[in-house]
Amino acid sequence: MEFTEWIRGRTDAQLRALVSARPELITPVPAHLEGLASRAGSPSAIGRVLDRLDRFTLAVVETLAVQRKPPTKAALRRLLAKALAEGEAGPALETALERLRELALVYGPDSAIALAPGVCKVLDDPAGLGPPVAEVFRHHPPEQLEDMADEIAPGTTGTGKERLAAALAEPAQLIAEVSPEARTALDQLAWGPPTGRVPNARREVRVESARSPIEQLLARGLLAATGEESVTLPREVALYLRDGRVHRDLHAVPPALDGSTRDMKLADRTAAGQAFTFVRLVEELCERWSIDPPGVLRTGGLGVRDMKRASADLDVPEWVAALVVEVTHAAGLVAAGGTVDGEWLPTTGYDLWRVRATADRWVSLAATWLQMDRVPGLVGERDDRDRPLNALHTDLRRSAAPAVRAAALGVLTSAPGLAPTRDSVLDRLAWEQPRRRGPLRERLTEFTLREAEQVGITGLGALSVHGRALLEGGAAAVALEPLLPEPVDHVLLQADLTAVAPGPLTSDLNRWMTLAADVESKGGATVYRFSEGSIRRALDAGQGAEEMLAMLERHSATPVPQALSYLVADVARRHGRIRVGTASAYIRCDDPALLDQITADRRSAQLRLRRLAPTVIASRSSRAVLVDSLRAMGYAPVAESLDGDVIISQLDSRRTEGLPPARTVSSANGLDPEVAAAAVRALRAGDAAHLARREPVAAPGGQIPRGPATATINALQEAIRQGVRVWIGYLDSQGNATSRILEPARMEGGYLTAYDETRAAVHRFALHRITGVAGLS
């Protein structure tokens, strides 16, 4: 049975499973099932699907690839049983064959299981076996092969290559003739890799003159020279040395996970607490960058100093700060904007995100982390050209990152309540994805396990209930909500101008406390300290003294200390007495004595002040410089507009426009079911039209239709009247004769307009180039 016919015989459900598991086959949708079969056999498509196979299923493919003809299921089971380290091959083989047929990698009945076209070409050295004899000796001169065959297989008939292949199919006698050293060299190559390097490998050596172990093997064809300094062990010889086994120590089931068993209730609460913390870290980062945004490097990204400052502000290690920054950016909450040089500012999307419930906010951040192709763990390292890898730089993109995160967390999904060790996770992934192994993937796996704990998907190393719901597409927010710590709406004010938050504050109270006080320490309870500078910061943002005291009374479980009331009142009394405007800039104050004090101060000399009136001083400095300088001198000025109104510094309102984060919508099988169903319907319809094409009536020997011009015009007019298809001969612009199957629509101005089935499009054809017309049977 041909592969295309096998594809055509699959049911709609089987075709939907195929295109869901291999969505690249319908991007775009082929015109018919023959095109689908052709695309499924392309090297790129086969390479992608082989990368998704586990160790045992890939071993089944490799075993089929090294067989001379399609084996029966029973024969395949016996071959795999020889390689199994433990257990039986039967159940695992049934599952593997079902999976391979679903993926269209094998086809045919159980009596002759065949690999799909193109699979053998993609597999390089399957199971560590080299090419067969016919291929490994293909570049040797025929006369050299004849001489080798005469020496090792005298009296046989056929070409030199055929006689050599027959002799090496049963190489026991030839192997027995070589020295123990030569046999040791064979054993080293038997289980792969099948190639080695030796000097002068291409020199011709005869059996009687061979001295070294390698010469003995080359002379008998047990090794083949494939280059000036390279040799390859033929597949037939390797299989004999392996005693007929294709693999060694094959496991039909994945290796068991090692680790510590966790109390799931404790693990879920731990993960929920970390999820809450991660959301607050993102919120705190955005609030701080609203007030004092870091600049964008000329090469893009965030500077090293700004990264260190973010780490200090958030009171977390730098790798955690890098994770927070990267996820915040990937979620569309911060973006480059602001000045000409650029600043990293919160986006308008942050304001929408901030007002959502905490569980919903966490789901958006965790889903972003799972899907983003950026690797925060690389921040601080150096690239191939010894340049530092900065946060938010394009060099942090790795296309494999989302797949590795999904695979690593998938391992945790299979072991509920277990916190597996790093090595056991790597071993499991090596079994599940043997073709995707490498140093980068191992590092990405380590980053995934570390970051999943920080984001709150895992707790104490075990997958949490809300993490599992997120991975499986369930209601993660619903699972997380009851586990989150209950926010408190009050603080404990103390006489030493500090406030203690006995738990996580509500979002609004947290923002207000961050504005009006400085965080002194974090931990089980957050300690805030009020100071003149923090009170002035709140006043600059538009807060009034009475409003601040009312806020404190409303959200304090203890009376407002007298010292704090005096501090607020004192700062508010002095706040705004001095007004700074534009002259270049000016200072005005209703108290001339206060202006006398300013002009007499030595520190004001650099401001180049000039008294214009008892209550006004002009300066050549800008308004911003004047405000900052006067505050440094101990005064509390405010800026005013040209109309004399106070300018309120909205420290938390700086925003930039940012694109929403990209989202990938797919089903658990890799493709939306409706898309898969629509693709199959289109394939069936296109295939039916493809098969409905009938052979032309007048096509003896496949010749192109030819006839008189008058008969051609009449035949075309009749086809237009009846609405039928015709087969025409046509000369292209180079004068080459071609044939087309058309559905004529109209003739005018010396041209025929028709739907060209050959090219699936409407075209115009010059009538004088049509050589003839034939009907379709």
The DSSP secondary-structure symbol of 556 reads B
- Residue 710 has a pLDDT of 85
- Residue 574 has a pLDDT of 85
pLDDT per position as a tens digit, 245-299: 889 888 888 999 999 999 999 999 999 999 999 998 999 899 888 888 898 888 8
Indicate whether 368 pLDDT > 90: yes
* Intra-chain end-to-end CA distance of the chain, in Å: 28
Structure tokens at 278: 């991660």
- Selected residue with higher pLDDT from 287 and 1: 287
Strands 518-521 and 498-501: unpaired
Select the highest-mean-pLDDT range: 98-107, 249-258, 500-509, 656-665: 98-107
- In angstroms, rounded to a whole number, what is the distance separating the alpha carbons of residues 565 and 762? 84
Indicate whether 306 pLDDT > 90: yes
- Residue 85 has a pLDDT of 75
Buried b (16+ CB within 10 A) or exposed e, 743-770: ebeebeeeebbbebbeeeeeeebeeebb
**What values do phi and psi take at 180, rounded to 5?**
-55, -35
- Residue 464 has a pLDDT of 95
Is the Cβ–Cβ distance between 303 and 289 less than 8 Å?
no
CB-hemisphere CA count at 13 Å for 633? 22
- Residue 718 Cα distances to 674, 723, 724, 770, 773, angstroms: 43, 8, 9, 16, 11
Q: Can you tell me whether residue 121 is helix, strand or coil? A: helix
The DSSP secondary-structure symbol of 501 reads E
Provide the pLDDT confidence category of residue 338 given band limits of 50, 70 and 90: low
Structure tokens at 646: 């106070």
Provide the pLDDT confidence category of residue 94 given band limits of 50, 70 and 90: very high
Provide the pLDDT confidence category of residue 438 given band limits of 50, 70 and 90: confident
> Scanning the structure block, which residue is given the tokens 């071609």?
738
Q: How many other C-beta atoms are found inside a 10 Å radius of the C-beta of residue 373?
A: 14
- Residue 580 has a pLDDT of 74
What one-letter code names the amino acid at 51? D
Helix residue ranges, H only, 43-159? 43-50, 55-65, 73-83, 90-102, 119-122, 133-136, 142-152
- Residue 647 has a pLDDT of 67
Structure tokens at 755: 């739907």
- Residue 700 has a pLDDT of 44
- Residue 461 Cα distances to 449, 454, 655, angstroms: 8, 10, 37
- Selected residue with higher pLDDT from 511 and 179: 179
pLDDT per position as a tens digit, 467-476: 999 999 889 9
- Selected residue with higher pLDDT from 340 and 7: 7
> Scanning the structure block, which residue is given the tokens 């520190």?
603
Query: Nearest to residue 22, comparing CAs of 669, 473, 666?
Result: 669
Instruction: Report the greatest alpha carbon distance in the chain.
Output: 126
- Residue 144 has a pLDDT of 86
| Percent of residues, the chain, with pLDDT higher than 90 | 32
Reply yes or no: is the peptide bond before residue 234 cis, omega within 30 of 0.
no
- Residue 1 has a pLDDT of 56
- Residue 621 has a pLDDT of 83
Indicate whether 699 pLDDT > 50: no
- In angstroms, rounded to a whole number, what is the distance separating the alpha carbons of residues 8 and 683? 10
Provide the pLDDT confidence category of residue 205 given band limits of 50, 70 and 90: confident
Helix residue ranges, H only, 517-577? 532-540, 545-554, 562-574
- Residue 383 has a pLDDT of 81
- Residue 736 has a pLDDT of 77
- Helix and strand totals (H; E) in the chain: 33, 25
Select the highest-mean-pLDDT range: 96-100, 568-572, 577-581: 96-100
Lowest mean pLDDT, pick from 404-408, 736-740, 771-775: 736-740
- Selected residue with higher pLDDT from 214 and 734: 214
Mean pLDDT confidence for 479-500 = 88
What one-letter code names the amino acid at 521? S
SS3 readout for 326-338: HHHHHCCCEEEEC
User: The sheet that has 526-529: what strands, in order across it?
Assistant: 492-493, 498-501, 526-529, 518-521
Indicate whether 740 pLDDT > 70: yes
Structure tokens at 394: 């394009």
Indicate whether 359 pLDDT > 90: yes
Q: What is the mean pLDDT of the chain?
A: 86
- Residue 653 has a pLDDT of 56
Q: From the CA atom positions of the chain, what is the Rg in Å?
A: 39
- Residue 666 has a pLDDT of 38
- In angstroms, rounded to a whole number, what is the distance separating the alpha carbons of residues 237 and 124? 18
pLDDT per position as a tens digit, 20-71: 999 999 888 888 888 899 899 899 999 999 999 999 999 999 999 999 889 9
- Residue 657 has a pLDDT of 67
Select the highest-mean-pLDDT range: 75-89, 371-385, 429-443, 445-459: 445-459
Lowest mean pLDDT, pick from 151-165, 356-370, 458-472, 667-681: 667-681
Mean pLDDT confidence for 311-340 = 89
Strands (E), 582-625: 585-588, 609-613, 616-619
% helix / strand / coil in the chain, to the nearest 5? Answer: 50, 15, 35
pLDDT per position as a tens digit, 642-674: 666 666 655 445 667 665 544 443 333 457 788
pLDDT per position as a tens digit, 513-527: 888 888 887 766 788
- Residue 310 has a pLDDT of 93
Reply yes or no: is the peptide bond before residue 131 cis, omega within 30 of 0.
no
Mean pLDDT confidence for 439-452 = 93
CB-based contacts of 699, cutoff 8 Å, min separation 6? 705, 727, 774
H or E segment and range at residue 730: strand 726-731
- Residue 206 has a pLDDT of 81
- In angstroms, rounded to a whole number, what is the distance separating the alpha carbons of residues 683 and 677? 10
The DSSP secondary-structure symbol of 541 reads T
